[in-house]
Amino acid sequence: MQYSRKFFSLLFAGMLAMASASCSAESGAPAAAGMVDSKLTEKNINAELKKAYDKYKGLKEGANADYIPALDKVDSNIFGIVLVTVDGKVYSVGDITSEVSIQSISKVFTMALVTEEKGTALLPENVGVDATGQVFNSIHAIEQYQGHEMNPLVNAGAITTTSLVEGKSYNEIWNKILNYYGEFAGRELTVLEDIYKSEAATNQRNQAIAHLMYAYGHIEGDPLQATDIYTRQCSVGVNAKDLAVMASTLANAGTNPVTGKDLVKPADIPEILAVMATAGLYDDAGKWLYKTGLPAKSGVGGGIIAISPGKFGIAAISPPLDAAGNSVRAQKAIADISAALGGNPYEVQPYGK
């Protein structure tokens, strides 16, 4: 296992080096990937981050989430953007130290944990990997197919995914989740207790969702324990740099490019990114993918991460959200920056041109 991860890392590094070369060895034609990658220079990245930050810092659209009372009290002016390339270089602009709660972005990393523990077959079978087209905490979506045909990034699928993390006790499961998130961020993370308490006091809808998933046989253990651990994972504090390093680990085939730690098998990354692409921004996932081509995930704390596979991970934090629960400024900033830097994985040139 160790050997094969190393092998993939080397292979991946080799592929990147080839992509950066200006011409292909045999035909002399420019390498398409190299042409796109040539936009990823230090100067370009810093310029595009600054441009997006200046363009959107005064934008006042959207509002903080308030169905979790403590989220309404978070400073709406927090705005930071960080991009981390797969060689571990960190580029940032704006507020990169203020922490917000990770919220639904956590779902990606618990999905990764369960995928690593149990393999790629379990989650599609248990909760599904299809976009629901419904709000993220839809009960209707559960009822439609008795808890199937959903995905690990909506609340029902996410609480079920959390219930699948292996461990003998609440604390063992929780510590494993928290430590795993910390490995992605490259530092120890902690829970924002005010957010946790506020959500735990008002999460009756999620408790109902967990009970339904239990009733339909998707959750096997205690549904209230799963809901509480899920609530705690959503309350983990992260800044824009943490989120970008987490995103860059997914962009870098599962190895944290800053710490060098292997966290997800390279072979499992495409499945995780596929679910992010179809369901990461919920009922607006299609609009987002149409515009950017990037697998992404939002959280009602105001963060969004997006992945340009093999190139970079990017994150932005800004608490005011649109009607679908996605940060207004973070969506706009990430979309602009990625477009300018050639981040869309679907954007290729005809061969030889």
Residues that bind ligand DON (CB under 6 A): 103-104, 136-137, 155, 199, 206, 234, 298-300, 325-326
What DSSP element (H or E) covers 53?
helix 42-56
Residues 97, 353: Cα–Cα separation, whole Å: 43
If the CB atoms of residues 123 and 159 are measured against ligand DON, the closer one turns out to be: 159
Tell me the residue nearest to ligand DON as measured from the CB. 104
Integer Cα distance of 311 and 296 in angstroms: 14
Q: Which residues of 114-123 are buried (b: 16+ CB within 10 A; e: fewer)?
A: bbeeeebeeb
Nearer to ligand DON, 93 or 192 (CB): 192
Question: In the complex, what is the shortest distance from the CB of residue 196 to ligand DON, in angstroms, rounded to a whole number?
Answer: 10
Q: What is the per-residue DSSP string for 118-163?
A: H-SSHHHHHT-S---SS-TT-SHHHHHTTT-S--TTSHHHHHHHHH
Least Å distance between CB 103 and ligand DON? 3
Judge whether 167 and 198 are in contact, CB under 8 Å: no
Judged by beta carbon, residue 31 or residue 229, the one nearer ligand DON is 229
Q: CB-wise, 85 or 137, nearer to ligand DON?
A: 137
Q: Taking the complex as a whole, how short is the minimal distance between the CB of residue 206 and ligand DON, in angstroms?
A: 5
CB atoms within 10 A of CB 220: 12
Burial of 22 (0-12, 13-18, 19+ CB in 10 A): exposed
How many Cβ atoms are within 10 Å of 175's Cβ, its own excluded? 12
Would you say 126 or 206 has its CB closer to ligand DON?
Answer: 206
CA–CA distance, 345 with 189 (Å, rounded to integer): 31
Nearer to ligand DON, 86 or 164 (CB): 164
Q: Cβ 155 to ligand DON, closest distance in Å?
A: 5
Whole-number Å distance between alpha carbons of 91 and 113: 27
> Quick one: 53 or 136, whose CB is closer to ligand DON?
136
In whole angstroms, how close is the CB of 245 to ligand DON at the nearest point? 20
